[in-house]
């Protein structure tokens, strides 16, 4: 015991001496890890404190050295002299306690025993759980395939690099960008003007690769001020290069395979031919002023429906941390009129207990921060002791702009025994990347909630990317009648129960959309077969889809029953509905660069729309923007002609300007309704045409009948032809 004097009062009080290892531990936990060097030093303090506590040794020092291959070498000196390497280890080879990787004792003194090694492992585990040590921990350990898609850069950085804040030995992270190839570039700058550029690419693309990291290659360019010569301070530059290599090696492991998909349709159609800027987000492509008059697709907006219509089927509490406008700028509640028509018909067929809250940040909160408001809300939720399985948390743009430390609030909530939190990370590159991140979080919840065994239910098929509507329920019943048992539908609906059922399924089937395929591959893993099939629209589409599933499960004998059911529905269609669709015509307005949406099912969100409409008996009329190249029209007709049963029901009309398009639409007597993703499209009403979109299409056998009836009624509606000319469309020809 010591006597300590309090300044001012001259009062003596007794204080207890805190062991040195505890002082070092507290100091390490208080220090931020904004810089790589700081993270190394504070981590060394954690290791030192843990080892000293476990062994009682006080005269110990530690050093931590990152290596280019991703190894973190931990050296202890003094009586606990030892060298320990923190390396990665495949999950299949991991032993108990190795969830963070493996510690390999390279050399050690007699005093360094199993207790000290366990203490070092405990320090590593603490670092993994603390976001301040994200620069040192492994990322993507469970990722078996690195896909070079829109989310590739997010997976490389793995939330560890922050522009203008993350520093590696004097080099501050500036930005990240991507070139064709693909080649991913990370840019760092030093205060003296020196620059460091790390390049990551698929094999055999870099002229002078520095090393192989996982399935890819890495290179480094270092320049002095104003790009002249090599930067000064070779030792510091070398340490920064090692740090970058270490970070990337901990994000890309040797077990990964590499998938380089072809350039996506949305990139091709909006960023080629001078119609868009490849350096701008896809959201800006929907509203290019020069081309807005001929845009009838809204790819970014309807992709975002995958987020706004994301349905949780578990008891949960929903929290939106933001201001009032966020709730209404993009209304997603039932019956709301949006700027664009929804991507799919979604019906919430499963009720579950859910509550929703918002912090409703006001002016004062924006000035002083809204973390206190969030803390109070989380505290009230904990004290209410509801039956929520988790909290779904959406941090909006405003909170991020003012710099609320929501991670700390969430961490305090979970440490206090609150329900786990699943976050919606809107900073990721695309709706697909956001969904994939949420799936990984739900997967971790499903694996950590104690339900590690089988669900006890016979689940044959997990369908990924099938909205849970009437058509989906009917498809599930169809598969059940063929002897397949229960079918689970995952995405855009999600929940821990659904994920556990998907884990138990014998077969995983994905819609042919890049975002869904990447998520399906992660759910299927290496042990389950994975099929990618066009969505089952139309009788023949269901027939092909069902036969592929039966064959994959070794149940080919069920094809006879499937054929009988398909023939029954086809007979009903020919007797009751086909006479009404004869003479009905549907139109598309698109550019040549958008043709992939009709020719390739992956181009229109997995729906083989041309084959489907042709099967239902509708004529198709394509209004094709060719600019000055009218010769493109025959080529487009040839591509589409291969997809229809009767080419006489297919027409292609080229146009080059707004007046030509308006006149062609007005004079097209064979077309009664034209595709548009915009709600209440005045352009089409003005020329006497009704509107239809993907929202009108339903999958499944009975869904095909409902779709045919719905579109036949739309074509028979005389309102646009009678009164449409009175509807004005600003900027539209002759409006």
Q: 340 with 399, same domain? A: yes
Q: What is the CATH number of the domain that holds 588?
A: 3.40.50
Res. 731 pLDDT band, cuts 50 70 90: low
Residue of higher predicted confidence among 678 and 272? 678
List all residues 6 or more positions away from 707 whose beta carbon is below 8 Å from its beta carbon: 537, 612, 616, 696, 697, 698
Q: 111 with 187, same domain? A: no
Residue of higher predicted confidence among 548 and 446? 548
Q: 356 with 254, same domain? A: no
What does the block give as tokens for 677? Answer: 């993703």
Residue 100 counted as domain residue: yes
Res. 561 pLDDT band, cuts 50 70 90: very high
Per-residue 3-state assignment (H helix, E strand, C coil) for 182-225: CEEEEEEECCCCCEEEEEEECCCCCCCCCEEECCEEEEEEEECH
The domain boundary residue, chosen from 427, 457, 478:
427
Residue 40 counted as domain residue: yes
Q: Which among 207-221, 342-356, 476-490 has the top mean pLDDT?
A: 476-490
pLDDT tens digit string along 92-150? 555 544 557 788 888 877 667 778 888 888 888 888 888 788 888 888 877 888 888 77
Q: 118 with 150, same domain? A: no
Res. 448 pLDDT band, cuts 50 70 90: confident
Give the pLDDT score at 491: 85
Number of separate domains in the chain? 4
List all residues 6 or more positions away from 659 whose beta carbon is below 8 Å from its beta carbon: 733, 734
Residue of higher predicted confidence among 597 and 613? 613
Range of the domain at 194: 145-259
Residue of higher predicted confidence among 450 and 24? 450
Sequence-ordered alpha helix ranges (H) in 449-484: 470-481
Q: 608 with 657, same domain? A: yes
C-beta neighbour count of 177 within 10 angstroms:
11
Q: 669 with 592, same domain? A: yes
Residue 398 counted as domain residue: yes
Q: 69 pairs with which residues across the strands?
A: none
The domain boundary residue, chosen from 104, 133, 162:
133
Lowest mean pLDDT among 204-218, 461-475, 508-522, 591-605: 591-605
Residue 551 counted as domain residue: no
Residue 561 counted as domain residue: no
Lowest mean pLDDT among 464-478, 540-554, 697-711: 464-478
Q: 316 with 234, same domain? A: no
In whole angstroms, what is the distance from residue 319 CA to residue 317 CA? 7
Average pLDDT, the chain: 81
Q: 593 with 718, same domain? A: yes
pLDDT tens digit string along 379-406? 999 988 777 788 999 988 888 888 788 8
Residue 511 counted as domain residue: no
The domain boundary residue, chosen from 133, 155, 182:
133
Q: What is the CATH number of the domain that holds 387?
A: 3.40.50.1980
pLDDT greater than 50 at residue 274: no
Residue 554 counted as domain residue: no
The secondary structure of residue 309, as a DSSP letter, is T
Res. 554 pLDDT band, cuts 50 70 90: very high
pLDDT greater than 90 at residue 221: no
Query: Nearest 5°: phi and psi at 510?
Result: -115, 145
Q: 695 with 603, same domain? A: yes
Element (H, E) at 416: none
* DSSP symbols for 107-161: EE-TT--HHHHHHHHHHHHHHHH-GGGTTTS---TT--EEE-STTHHHHHHTT--
Residue 267 counted as domain residue: no
Q: 88 with 156, same domain? A: no
Give the pLDDT score at 260: 84
Lowest mean pLDDT among 155-159, 440-444, 575-579: 155-159
Residue of higher predicted confidence among 613 and 326? 613
pLDDT tens digit string along 39-69? 898 898 888 888 888 877 777 788 899 999 9
Residue of higher predicted confidence among 224 and 69? 69
pLDDT greater than 70 at residue 323: yes
Q: 310 with 246, same domain? A: no
Give the pLDDT score at 618: 97
Q: 121 with 154, same domain? A: no
Average pLDDT for 449-473: 75
């Amino acid at each position: 015991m010591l006597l300590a004097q309090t300044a001012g009062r001259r009062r003596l009080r007794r204080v207890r001496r805190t062991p040195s290892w505890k002082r070092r531990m507290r100091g390490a936990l208080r220090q931020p890890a904004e810089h790589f060097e700081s993270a190394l030093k504070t981590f060394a303090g954690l290791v030192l404190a843990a080892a000293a506590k476990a062994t009682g040794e006080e005269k110990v020092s530690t050093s931590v050295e990152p290596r280019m291959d991703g190894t973190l070498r931990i050296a202890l000196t003094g009586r606990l002299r030892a060298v320990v390497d923190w390396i990665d280890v495949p999950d299949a080879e991991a032993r108990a306690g190795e969830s963070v990787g493996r510690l390999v004792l390279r050399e050690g003194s007699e005093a360094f025993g199993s207790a000290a090694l366990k203490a070092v492992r405990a320090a590593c585990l603490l670092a993994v759980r603390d976001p301040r040590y994200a620069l040192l921990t492994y990322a993507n350990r469970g990722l078996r395939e690195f896909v070079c898609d829109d989310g590739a850069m997010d997976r490389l950085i793995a939330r560890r690099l922050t522009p203008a804040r993350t520093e590696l030995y004097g080099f501050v992270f500036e930005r990240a960008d991507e070139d064709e190839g693909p080649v991913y570039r990370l840019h760092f700058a030093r205060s003296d003007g020196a620059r460091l550029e790390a390049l990551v690419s698929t094999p055999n693309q870099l002229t002078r690769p520095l090393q192989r990291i996982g399935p890819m290659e890495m290179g480094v360019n270092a320049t002095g001020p104003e790009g002249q010569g090599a930067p000064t301070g070779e030792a510091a530059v070398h340490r920064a290069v090692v740090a970058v290599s270490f970070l990337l090696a901990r994000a890309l492991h040797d077990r990964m395979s590499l998938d380089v998909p072809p350039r996506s349709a949305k990139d091709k159609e909006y960023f080629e031919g001078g119609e868009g800027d490849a350096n701008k987000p896809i959201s800006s492509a929907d509203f290019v002023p020069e081309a807005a008059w001929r845009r009838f697709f809204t790819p970014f907006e309807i992709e975002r429906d995958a987020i706004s219509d994301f349905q949780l089927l578990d008891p949960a509490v929903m929290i939106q941390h933001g201001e009032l406008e966020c709730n209404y700028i993009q209304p997603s509640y039932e019956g709301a009129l949006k700027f664009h028509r929804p991507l799919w018909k979604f019906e919430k067929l499963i009720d579950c207990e859910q509550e929703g809250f918002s912090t409703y940040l006001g002016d004062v909160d924006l000035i002083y921060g809204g973390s206190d408001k969030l803390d109070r809300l989380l505290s009230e939720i904990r004290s209410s002791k509801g039956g929520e399985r988790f909290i779904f948390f959406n941090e909006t743009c405003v909170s991020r702009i003012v710099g609320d430390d929501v991670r700390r609030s969430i961490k305090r909530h979970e440490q206090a025994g609150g329900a786990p939190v699943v976050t919606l990370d809107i900073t990721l590159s695309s709706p697909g990347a956001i969904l994939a991140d949420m799936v990984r979080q739900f997967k971790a919840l499903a694996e950590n909630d104690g339900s590690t065994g089988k669900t006890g239910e016979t689940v044959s098929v997990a369908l990924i990317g099938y909205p849970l509507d009437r058509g989906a329920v009917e498809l599930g019943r169809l598969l059940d009648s063929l002897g397949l048992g229960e079918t689970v539908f995952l995405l855009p609906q999600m929940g821990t129960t659904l994920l556990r059922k998907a884990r138990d399924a014998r077969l995983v089937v994905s819609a042919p959309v890049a975002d869904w395929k990447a998520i399906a591959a992660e759910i299927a893993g290496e042990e389950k077969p994975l099929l990618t099939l066009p969505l089952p629209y139309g009788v023949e589409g269901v027939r092909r889809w069902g036969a592929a599933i039966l064959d994959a499960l070794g149940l080919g004998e069920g094809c006879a029953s499937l054929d009988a059911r398909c023939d029954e529905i086809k007979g009903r269609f020919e007797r009751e509905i086909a006479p009404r669709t004869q003479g009905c015509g549907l139109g598309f307005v698109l550019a040549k660069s958008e043709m992939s949406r009709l020719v390739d099912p992956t181009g229109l969100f997995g729906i083989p729309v041309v084959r489907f409409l042709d099967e239902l008996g509708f004529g198709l009329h394509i209004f094709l923007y060719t600019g000055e190249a009218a010769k493109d029209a025959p080529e487009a007709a040839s591509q589409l002609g291969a997809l229809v049963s009767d080419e006489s029901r297919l027409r292609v009309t080229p146009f080059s300007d707004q007046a030509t398009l308006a006149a062609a639409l007005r004079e097209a007597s064979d077309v009664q309704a034209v595709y548009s993703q915009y709600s209440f499209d005045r352009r089409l009403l003005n020329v006497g045409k009704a509107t239809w979109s993907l929202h009108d299409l339903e999958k499944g056998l009975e869904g095909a009948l409902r779709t045919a009836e719905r579109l036949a009624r739309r074509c028979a509606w005389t309102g646009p032809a009678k009164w449409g000319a009175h509807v004005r469309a600003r900027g539209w020809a002759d409006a």
